[in-house]
């Protein structure tokens, strides 16, 4: 079923967001030249109106896939092997040889659980028959097959245990392994920039990056959200996200259920509407609160705001 279902694909291509007016208005706003009655820009069929908020890079632009010629919506990542973007890309499973993402994650979960039950059964069966296992042949030695079996079982059980931690994180924060790796990297670069202490990772694997390169890496791995200004019309703000913010976390049950949903979009507008709903209400109110407090930078300005907490 993991293969039959496949990781999923994006059914509709999403054209670039129409951000020109926000960009130029942002620049006018910073110079105090913004006319509040300025007419809205003329709709362009090659562009689409952006959602209220979306994940973006440090300057506030959405992530674009040049292969698929579409905006990467639904937290998608491009697979060069499959030749298209995959929504909610979690990881590439070496043992099964396929990508685990939105469509086949639940089947992968079932697959792992079946193996866990099998390993528990092997442990129970080995201990239930411990008398014959311990008294192999005429001498009091362990059965060689039992030793190999318990060793293999132990190895695979540990691997599954690690996977269980990964599942727990997925359901707790609604963040995929890809998200988690990115957050981890940003944390590592931030630590290098702002902490006087050396992290264990730096001590074990020293890197030759200078401060500017580390800063550039930090800006590249840092997550940002581009959001409509709650008070100013036609202005957008680029806000950096601290690692402790989980934009898609809607509670464990809702996070779990989301993997079972089948999304079948017909138009790009439907995808854009869906993009807004992927963010939790708690996160949205946190974002508006931050913007009102003057955090982040106006979309259209040359500034880049890193998180320094
Ligand atoms: Zn792509």
Mean pLDDT by 10 residues, the chain (309 residues): 69 87 85 71 79 93 92 90 89 86 87 85 77 62 73 82 84 90 88 73 67 84 92 89 92 89 87 92 94 90 65
Please, which residues have CB within 8 angstroms of residue 51's CB and are 6 or more apart in sequence?
272, 273, 275, 276
Cα–Cα–Cα angle for 142, 147, 151, rounded to 5 degrees? 155
How many whole angstroms from 68 Cα to the centroid of ligand 1?
4
How many whole angstroms from 86 Cα to the centroid of ligand 1?
7
Q: Specify the pLDDT at position 137.
A: 60
Phi then psi dihedrals of residue 227, to 5 deg: -130, 145
Please, which residues have CB within 8 angstroms of residue 96's CB and are 6 or more apart in sequence?
2, 3, 108, 111
Which residues on adjacent β-strands are paired with residue 224? 56, 240
How many whole angstroms from 224 Cα to the centroid of ligand 1?
20
Please, which residues have CB within 8 angstroms of residue 84's CB and are 6 or more apart in sequence?
9, 10, 67, 68, 78
How many whole angstroms from 258 Cα to the centroid of ligand 1?
22
How many whole angstroms from 101 Cα to the centroid of ligand 1?
14
pTM: 0.81
How many whole angstroms from 61 Cα to the centroid of ligand 1?
17
Q: Specify the pLDDT at position 126.
A: 75
How many whole angstroms from 69 Cα to the centroid of ligand 1?
7
Reading the block at residue 134, the tokens are 């311990």
How many whole angstroms from 66 Cα to the centroid of ligand 1?
7
Q: Specify the pLDDT at position 239.
A: 94
Q: Specify the pLDDT at position 240.
A: 93
How many whole angstroms from 62 Cα to the centroid of ligand 1?
14
How many whole angstroms from 230 Cα to the centroid of ligand 1?
32
Q: Specify the pLDDT at position 33.
A: 78
Q: Specify the pLDDT at position 64.
A: 93
How many whole angstroms from 63 Cα to the centroid of ligand 1?
10
Distance CA 191, CA 187 (A): 6
How many whole angstroms from 158 Cα to the centroid of ligand 1?
34
Q: Specify the pLDDT at position 237.
A: 94
Query: Would you tell me how many other CB atoms lie within 10 Å of the CB of residue 197?
Result: 7
């Amino acid at each position: 079923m993991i293969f039959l279902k496949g990781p999923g694909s994006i059914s509709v291509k999403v054209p670039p967001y129409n951000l020109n007016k926000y960009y130029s208005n942002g620049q006018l706003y910073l110079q105090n030249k913004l006319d509040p009655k300025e007419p809205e820009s003329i709709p362009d069929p090659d562009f689409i109106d952006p959602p209220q908020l979306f994940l973006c890079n440090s300057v506030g632009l959405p992530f674009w896939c040049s292969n698929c010629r579409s905006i990467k919506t639904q937290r998608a990542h491009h697979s060069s092997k499959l030749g298209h973007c995959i929504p909610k890309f979690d990881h590439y499973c070496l043992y099964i040889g396929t990508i685990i993402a939105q469509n086949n994650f639940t089947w992968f979960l079932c697959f792992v659980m079946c193996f866990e039950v099998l390993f528990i059964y092997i442990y129970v069966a080995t201990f239930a028959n411990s008398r014959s296992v311990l008294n192999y042949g005429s001498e009091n030695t362990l059965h060689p097959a039992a030793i190999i079996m318990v060793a293999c079982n132990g190895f695979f059980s540990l691997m599954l245990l690690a996977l269980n931690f990964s599942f727990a994180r997925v359901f707790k924060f609604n963040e995929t392994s890809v998200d988690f790796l990115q957050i981890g990297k940003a944390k590592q670069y931030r630590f290098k920039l702002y902490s006087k202490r050396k992290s264990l990772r730096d001590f074990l694997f020293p890197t030759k990056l200078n401060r500017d390169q580390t800063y550039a890496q930090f800006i590249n791995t840092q997550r940002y959200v581009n959001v409509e200004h709650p008070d100013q019309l036609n202005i957008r703000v680029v806000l950096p996200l601290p690692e402790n913010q989980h934009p898609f976390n809607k509670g464990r049950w809702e996070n779990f259920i989301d993997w079972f949903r089948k999304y079948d979009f017909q138009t790009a507008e439907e995808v854009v509407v869906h993009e807004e709903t992927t963010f939790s209400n708690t996160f949205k109110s946190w974002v508006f609160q931050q913007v009102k407090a003057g955090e982040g930078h106006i979309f259209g300005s040359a500034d880049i705001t890193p998180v320094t907490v």
